[in-house]
Amino acid sequence: MTTQPVAASRPEVTLRRVRGTDLEAFFEMERDPEANWMAAFTAKDPSDRVLFDARWALLLDDAQVTARTICADGLIAGSVMSYIEDGETEITYWIAREYWGSGVASQSLALFLDEVTVRPLNARTAKDNVGSLTVLKRCGFEIVGENEDFANGRGELVEEHLLQLA
């Protein structure tokens, strides 16, 4: 499956288990320079396929990770997952740029939160990533703190919101 331009109407969003064949689409999404800048906290070298494949192999082999492929009208539109970080459950998601602003992120996160019922659930986003902050708040997350960390996607320190769903 590959990504396609978004239709004029709101796409039907579904989640499914990640398949090995999804990784090519994920890799292309994560190489998008604009998406890397917006996400900020990304891989050091998004064009390194060996590291990308190694990271996904570890994620998919980890019983504490729940990873899903986001489909919009049957096409791969991104990924969403939960994982354990410092003993706490955190979520992350990546939406292909052509789906930004279409409701795919909010719909997919809501579906994911129905499946992953662990609470509290943590998330983080660059302070200037208004779209991601809006999605998280729409799904019930609240800002519980702030942090500043080095962001590979921007090559500099970036302020971030720390959020939690209780």
Which pLDDT tens digit goes with each residue over 11-22? 999 999 999 999
**For strand 142-151 and strand 88-95, is the pairing parallel, antiparallel, or unpaired?**
unpaired
Report yes or no: 4 and 75 within 8 Å, Cβ to Cβ.
yes
Quick one: average pLDDT of 135-160?
97
pLDDT at site 9: 79
Over residues 39-81, the pLDDT tens digits come to 999 999 999 999 999 999 999 999 999 999 999 999 999 999 9
Beta strands in 5-59 (DSSP E): 13-17
**How many whole angstroms separate alpha carbon 73 and alpha carbon 24?**
19
For 60, phi then psi, to 5°, come to -70, -15
Over residues 73-120, the pLDDT tens digits come to 999 999 999 999 999 999 999 999 999 999 999 999 999 999 999 999
Give the CA angle between residues 37, 43, 47 to the nearest 5°. 90
**How many whole angstroms separate alpha carbon 92 and alpha carbon 39?**
10
A 10 A CB-CB count for 89 gives 17
Give the CA angle between residues 89, 122, 104 to the nearest 5°. 105
pLDDT at 1 over 80: no
What are the angstrom distances between the C-alpha of 93 and each of 8, 9, 106? 23, 22, 11
Element (H, E) at 95: strand 88-95
